Amino acid sequence: MTITLPLVVVLGILAWAVIRFLGVRLWVAVVIGLFGFYLAHTFLAPVIDGTTRTGVQVVNGTQK
């Protein structure tokens, strides 16, 4: 049986756990999230996307 979780769900759970258990303040998490949105509009976005996809493929064992 294969279970598929979108990466955004995994990252959302991770962010919730960090805020809840490590004591990171909510406003810090919001600032980091906004930084991510602004970063997505720079020339680094394709590099970050490719690196993330490669990392997920390595974890899944599907990299060629």
Note whether residue 9 is domain-resident. Answer: no
Chain segment 39-61, per-residue pLDDT in tens: 889 999 899 889 988 988 888 88
Reported as a single tens digit per residue, the pLDDT across 5-36 is 788 888 889 989 998 999 889 899 889 888 98
| Local structure of residue 42 (DSSP, 8 states) | S
In a domain, 47, yes or no: yes
Question: Do the domain assignments include residue 37?
Answer: yes
Instruction: Give backbone dihedrals phi and psi of 24, rounded to 5 degrees, phi first.
Output: -70, 130
Expressed as residue numbers, the domain containing 44 is: 25-59
Q: Does residue 64 lie in a domain region?
A: no
**Number of domains observed in the structure of the chain:** 1
Whether 12 is in a domain gets the answer no
- Could you tell me if residue 17 is inside a domain? no
Measured at the CA of 42, the angle between CA 28 and CA 30, to 5 degrees, comes to 15
- Assess if residue 4 is contained within a domain: no
